[in-house]
Structure 1
Amino acid sequence: MAEYKRPKSEAEFNKNFKQKKPLMNDTEAYYESSRCLFCYDAPCIQACPTHIDIPLFIKQIHTNNIIGASKTIFDSNWLGNACGIVCPTGVLCEGACVYNHQDVPPIQIGRLQNYATNQSINTNKKLFSIGKSNGKNIAVIGAGPAGIACACEAKTLGYDVDVFEAKDKPSGLTVHGVAPYKITNEEVLKEVEYLQNQLGFNIKYNTNINSKQELSALESKYDAIFLGVGLGTTRDLELDGENLNGVIGAVEFIEELKNKQHKLEVPDKVVVIGGGNTAMDAASESARMGARKTVLAYRNTKEKMGAYGFEYDLAISAGVDSLFNLTPIAIVGKEKVEGVKFAKTELVNGNLHTNMNNTFIVRCDLVIKATGQAKQGSLYELIDNLETDNKTRIIVDDNTFQTSNPKYFAGGDAINGGAEVVNAAYDGKMAAQGIHNWLN
């Protein structure tokens, strides 16, 4: 089990957060690409939400057509570089590799994808051109993966595109909410800059669209609007003590860590509440920042966690402890957090019940809530005739991504409630096609 020292410099921070999927060198890429069997039915393609022609780009790498491989990837997925790094390839393309049935390690598809696209980005190789202007324009709200993908695809179809982003950087959670050992902000921003240089879409930063008046202005100025707003802040637990100093949401914690890096002070004792992939990231990061005791607490059994198994294993290997079948009932302390009071949970007739006769306190200096993010319901309510489901997800046509208000299209976390970057990239691309068909 790893034990990390508190990073005091950028170099020490980078050592603690070394990349899970480091960039391949030429020899590694040549060898790995030689292993592909080029299956005629290619289950890896079916497992990829963006349906990249994986055997083709691997063959192109093996024949030293690296730029061709990069174009094959970007043709299907505008965020091909980021997805090659952050995608859970073990449960998607690599999980579908036929080698898994032969007790042989699957092809490292994600790292090969990163290798190819990285070469195009680093050499600023022009792969795409802006389509002939059709005189129409699109507003994209949110510069996350869905919004960037929509903007790129729309530009190739001849639309003028303005992207409105509330924060000062693009790419949504890829920049603000993905652990730094998965991808660095430098790599994310480099890909967006590369695409923006080729396709010329405009991003207006620090521009939060959150009023009826602002939406009406967009509706009158633009022919179509794409909603790629993602999710909001971490949901409240509605517990006593939640407003104490030392309580923070997981996404907010990860964003602060990525911005401050070694300058962020993480105390000795940390409790992370939740069982999803974001909880695993927050716990692992706390340990890597030198916390002496990091406890991951989940209300159900280990098997019921939403996190991928490899994410949990990564957290445990970083030195995180885990507690199962317990739920927080209060955060204790005077002005600052001193601990979390838990009650044990148990299954009764198939339902999870809290046993208030069995309570205890886990002492800590920091509580990280990884219990999901709130939807952007307040924004959706400002849009006329926009239908959402009972989980505040925007309802769209499965083929066109058009909402019940025909001028609006949507994709990414706004419609699925929180999925992978690759799902958002697919949604944005297909929504641009849906807009194109609707306007023509």
Structure 2
Amino acid sequence: MTPNALAEGIRPGRLDEESLLEGFCDVHPRLDPHEAMVAADRCYFCHDAPCIAACPTEIDIPLFIRQIATGTPEAAAKTIFEQNILGGMCARVCPVETLCEGACVRETAERNPVEIGRLQRYATDTLMAAGSHPFRRDAPTGKRIAVVGAGPAGLACAHRLAMKGHDVVIHDARPKPGGLNEYGIAAYKTVDGFAEREVDWLMRIGGITLEQGRTLGAEMTLDALRDAYDAVFLGIGLGGVNALGLDGEDREGVDDAVDFIAELRQAEDLAALPIGRDVVVIGGGMTAVDAAVQAKLLGALNVTMVYRRARDRMNASRKEQDHAARRGVKIVTNAVPVAVHGNGAVREVEFEFVEDDLAPTGARFRLPADQVFKAIGQRLDGAALPELDRGKIAVTGAGRTSVEGVWAGGDCAAGGDDLTVTAVAQGRDAAEDIHRALAG
């Protein structure tokens, strides 16, 4: 944060250490064994379970819940990990209310679904705490695959390929692996360094080498990777951030929400993080919610999220919206930014109300702001990539791109929904397709 921005009211230490610890504690603590047994007993173990169909990784949810109910959470965890090797993180961050729990029969009948997400966390945490890895590598194949990006898609792809006996080299640009899980999710959802511990646990399969500080287009090219490896998987995510396109957007105090979240996630001392008194977050997705809630937890007095469409059109789930509201975040909908005002540093953001089709109404208002976070989506950065489809890498089948021997998955690939669990499914399925292709 620059000195000018700090002078305008953005400063660290707005809350004491006790308040910070309380605010950033685990938002959904793990079930204890008795709670898990009670929660598991509520499952009907449906034969044609709609929860399975609603899960992008197609975990056999009734089976793993029955395994918990019979006192074998380690077996339940293996059932989960067979489909989703990042099942521990997904149990923490998946929007279960719109996926498995939203499809639960009890949700339909009683508006009180089985706590699938918390049961999944109970099982996976139990097995991971035991320190063992539930899978072993097949016999070596002699094949080498490059995975570009150590996010959810890349990690899932690498693990599945290593299981098949292939040697995998993950190339990643950042100091820590994990991608979105390490840098892009609210700290109160993944406490105690879980993202890093999960990667360490995943790597115990063996056969995976991690090379950091490697960016596609800078330290390596796609052509060079194709020459050096038998196959390439791209899980590079979305590195660019969309701009507002407004006058004054470059004022001090106007920042990208993803950078704020990443800085917070890597901070050793939350009290040292500067935060404004009046914070405005522009956007309506999960990144906007995570930025807004964490700004409030750091001590911002007023935090307002502003989204251009109605509340039911927000990408953030209603559960996340309600969580933000309970934390004191004000949500304004059907409004678009038209100007950023200030003298050097931001002082106000001007908005105009719009109709559902974004037609302007002429009615404008201003919000005081000494800090603004932009969360209006990210874009794919990079040159010499495979063919694109609406700004993302075009794929067919299980992630095949327009370039022979190159697959892609996760946020960088067209057709996804920007969820961790979907990225895992795409990385896993691409790995299976790569294995079939290499087997001839």
TM-score range, shorter chain: over 0.9
User: For the Cα contact (< 8 Å) 1:412–1:425, is it kept in 2?
Assistant: yes
User: For the Cα contact (< 8 Å) 1:411–1:424, is it kept in 2?
Assistant: yes
**CA distance in structure 2 between the partners assigned to 1:265 and 1:79 by the alignment:** 32
Query: Quick check: 152-161 or 26-35, which moved more?
Result: 26-35
Count of residue correspondences = 424
Query: Match for residue 360 of structure 2?
Result: 354
Query: Match for residue 299 of structure 1?
Result: 308
Query: Quick check: 212-221 or 105-114, which moved more?
Result: 212-221
**CA distance in structure 1 between the partners assigned to 2:60 and 2:334 by the alignment:** 43
Query: In structure 2, what residue type is equivalent to 1:244?
Result: R
Query: In structure 1, what residue type is equivalent to 2:280?
Result: V
- Deviation per CA, 1:266-299, whole angstroms, max 9, x where unpaired? 1110011112222122111111111111111122
**CA distance in structure 2 between the partners assigned to 1:63 and 1:299 by the alignment:** 49
Query: Match for residue 16 of structure 2?
Result: 8
User: For the Cα contact (< 8 Å) 1:234–1:250, is it kept in 2?
Assistant: no
**CA distance in structure 2 between the partners assigned to 1:198 and 1:213 by the alignment:** 26
CA RMSD of aligned residues (A): 1.7
**CA distance in structure 2 between the partners assigned to 1:164 and 1:309 by the alignment:** 36
Q: How does 1:381-396 map to 2 (within 5 A)?
A: 382-383=384-385, 386-389=386-389, 391-396=390-395
**CA distance in structure 1 between the partners assigned to 2:371 and 2:143 by the alignment:** 50
- Deviation per CA, 1:193-220, whole angstroms, max 9, x where unpaired? 0110233411112221224953332121
Q: How does 1:309-320 map to 2 (within 5 A)?
A: 309-320=318-329
How far the C-alpha of 1:70 sits from its partner, in A, is 1.1
Query: In structure 2, what residue type is equivalent to 1:358?
Result: A
Q: Which of 181, 184, 187 is equivalent to 1:177?
A: 184
Query: Match for residue 10 of structure 2?
Result: none
- Deviation per CA, 1:156-204, whole angstroms, max 9, x where unpaired? 1111000011111111111111111222361111111011023341111
**CA distance in structure 1 between the partners assigned to 2:312 and 2:36 by the alignment:** 36
Q: Which of 370, 373, 377 is equivalent to 2:375?
A: 370
How far the C-alpha of 1:20 sits from its partner, in A, is 2.5
Query: Quick check: 127-136 or 98-107, which moved more?
Result: 98-107
Q: Secondary structure at the match of 1:64?
A: coil
**CA distance in structure 2 between the partners assigned to 1:62 and 1:417 by the alignment:** 34
Query: In structure 1, what residue type is equivalent to 2:355?
Result: E
Q: How does 1:69-148 map to 2 (within 5 A)?
A: 69-103=76-110, 105-148=112-155
**CA distance in structure 2 between the partners assigned to 1:433 and 1:322 by the alignment:** 43
Query: In structure 1, what residue type is equivalent to 2:420?
Result: V
How far the C-alpha of 1:104 sits from its partner, in A, is 5.5
Query: Quick check: 321-330 or 307-316, which moved more?
Result: 321-330
Q: Which of 224, 237, 241 is equivalent to 1:234?
A: 241
How far the C-alpha of 1:100 sits from its partner, in A, is 1.4
Query: Match for residue 162 of structure 1?
Result: 169
How far the C-alpha of 1:126 sits from its partner, in A, is 2.7
**CA distance in structure 2 between the partners assigned to 1:102 and 1:265 by the alignment:** 47
User: For the Cα contact (< 8 Å) 2:26–2:190, is it kept in 1?
Assistant: yes
**Cα distance change on mapping 1:185 and 1:235 into 2, 3 Å:** farther
**CA distance in structure 2 between the partners assigned to 1:335 and 1:232 by the alignment:** 27
Gaps of 5+ in 2: 1-12
**CA distance in structure 1 between the partners assigned to 2:65 and 2:217 by the alignment:** 44
Gaps of 5+ in 1: none
Q: Does 1:344 align with 2:353?
A: yes
Query: In structure 1, what residue type is equivalent to 2:406?
Result: Y
Query: Match for residue 278 of structure 1?
Result: 287
**Cα distance change on mapping 1:200 and 1:24 into 2, 3 Å:** farther
Q: Which of 254, 257, 265 is equivalent to 1:258?
A: 265
Q: Does 1:332 align with 2:337?
A: no
